[in-house]
Amino acid sequence: MTGICEGRVVIVTGGGRGIGREHCLEFAHQGAKVVVNDLGGEVDGSGSSTGPAGEVVDLIRSSGGEAVANGDDVSSWEGAQKLINTAVETFGGLDVLVNNAGILRDRMLVNMTEEEWDAVIKVHLKGMFAPCRWAATYWRERTKAGETNDARIINTSSTSGIFGNPGQTNYGAAKAGIASATWIMAQELGRYGVTCNAIAPGALTRMTENLGMGNRPEPKPGEFDAASPANVAPLVVWLGSPESKDITGRTFLVMGGTISVAEGWRRGPTAQQDDRWDPAKLGSVVPDLVAQAQPITTMRG
């Protein structure tokens, strides 16, 4: 296979199903060697199986590509290190890390348990941080040895994190953290030849079928399926290619045939005086600032 990622070594976490599966297939189609990481668990994170990752590997190999399955837990410090080592030991290096693994434990705040909070934060936030930490160490050591990198980190955020969605305090907090961490990592890792970007994808998968996405009408034969997870992969693969070397620190919204650049926190209307504010005077100041500010963007626009 030849394409824009010819010869690049790519890790995709959560690569056995849904959006991650499509990432793996498209990377392979574009010439990459792929490490398909997946525990094979349920949507809520319970259980495990090597089946999904192995099936994706078989598909890639049957098409003439190169791939290997990995079942390490990316939210484990040791598991994340083993994952990075799998790429280096199997294919001789690492060029792209796509952090896609995730679970859901949706609950309104007043009913959410400590375990539901901890589980989602661990898989999404630590499951992004730990692989990034070990990948960054690998790329830094290459730089210290006089070698160069043309590497990529692509993290998976969500509109639930950057816009907010009731019932997903845990998931949204993790996804907002991922978007912020992406920008910070972009600033830290540029010196090592690494770019860091994030996506907030929209697609019909196991994780979204119960959140309203499953109510979408089935596309007619031959009609473009805007909800297909395959629509997310082209942007991710391009971000993983050498062509994207000048793009870093960005979060992209992608669904169907639509790609947008998310515009994050920025300083808006400002009031200033050369003294400490008197709380009694802020009643006329703060409402005026809010009135001048852009409306808050939500999941519905």
Is there a catalytic annotation at residue 175? yes
Tokens of 100: 């896609």
Separation of CA 231 from chain center:
15
Q: Which of 158, 160, 241, 244 is catalytic?
A: 158
Return the closest-CA partner of residue 50 out of 38, 68, 60. 38
Return the number of other C-beta atoms located less than 10 Å from residue 267's C-beta: 5
Distance between CA 170 and CA 177 in Å, rounded?
Answer: 11
Distance between CA 289 and CA 134 in Å, rounded?
Answer: 43
Instruction: Match 């305090």 to its residue by tokens.
Output: 169
Q: Which of 33, 82, 175, 241 is catalytic?
A: 175
According to DSSP, the β-strands at 33-37 and 66-70 are parallel
Q: Which of 171, 192, 241, 244 is catalytic?
A: 171
DSSP 47: -
Element (H, E) at 130: helix 127-144
Is there a catalytic annotation at residue 158? yes
Active site residues: 158, 171, 175
